[in-house]
Amino acid sequence: MFSLTLIRPGSTEFDEQHRIQGALDLPLSSEGEHEIDAAIESLRERGIKTIYTAPNEPALSTAQRIGKALSIRVKELEGLSNCNLGLWQGLTIEEIKRKYPKVYKQWKESPDRVKPPQGEDKEDALTRAMKALSKPFKREVPFGVVVCEPLATFLACSLKQCKHALPNTYCEKERAPLIEQLDLESSDGELKAIVTGSR
């Protein structure tokens, strides 16, 4: 058994405006920087050897900020780039509900089967993320992963083998925890995870 610490990036201006970011490159806001700085201490004792991150913002800044503070190596993996949410990127949730009411309702209820207009299929995004993490999984040593929403929630759901859900931010609820620890074990070549702590 080994642990994966799933780290969601700090806030961007789009988060604060309730806009869909998707694959857009946006820096951390001042609030996002404070969120990460406040979370760093809780990562200190988790035994993380390497942090794997998407090569774009705000994941990269988040990973570099944590890596520098805790002297942990940061490695960029192209496959961890966030889901491309197509024509929804840059729009607020309210604008999406107004412009694409039927598709938004279907996507919210079944993200497995519906994708945003001109966007990326959830399974395609999840497949490339899991492929990017295949070597870290095989090493079976504690590591961190910094990925944006909704890919972070899709990845967590896949490892926990639970019904794929949308991140809370898309369902008008509170944000998902910034840090989620999953204890992983391999059984018959398949990884299974248990959530052991979140912040």
CATH number assigned to the domain comprising residue 43: 3.40.50.1240
Residue 112 has what pLDDT? Answer: 74
Token pair for residue 197?
């702590």
* Claim: this prediction has a pTM higher than 0.85: yes
pLDDT at 1: 78
Beta bridge partners of 145: 6, 52
Q: Answer for the pair 147, 59: CB distance below 8 angstroms, yes or no.
A: yes
Residue 48 confidence (pLDDT) = 96
Phi and psi angles of residue 10, each rounded to the nearest 5 degrees, phi first = -65, 170
φ, ψ for residue 100, nearest 5 deg: -130, 55
* pLDDT reported for residue 168: 54
Alpha-carbon span 43 to 45, nearest angstrom: 6
Answer for the pair 34, 89: CB distance below 8 angstroms, yes or no. no
Domain that holds residue 6: 2-198
What pLDDT score does 106 carry? Answer: 86
pLDDT, position 136: 93
The total number of structural domains that make up the chain: 1
Mean pLDDT per 10-residue interval, the chain, length 199 residues: 92 92 96 95 92 97 98 98 94 91 85 84 93 92 95 89 64 72 76 65
Q: How far apart are CA 55 and CA 42, in angstroms?
A: 24
The secondary structure of 42-62 as a DSSP string is HHTTS---EEEE-SSTTHHHH
Give the SS3 label for residue 190.
strand
176, 10 Cβ separation under 8 angstroms: no
Burial 137-176 (b: 16+ CB within 10 A, else e): eeeeebbbbbbbbbbbbbbbbbbeeeebbbbebbeeeeeb
Predicted local distance difference test score (pLDDT) of residue 188 = 60
Cis peptide leading into 116, omega within 30 of 0? no
State the DSSP string of 71-135.
Answer: T-EEEE-GGGPPPP-GGGTT-BHHHHHHHSHHHHHHHHH-TTT---TT---HHHHHHHHHHHTHH
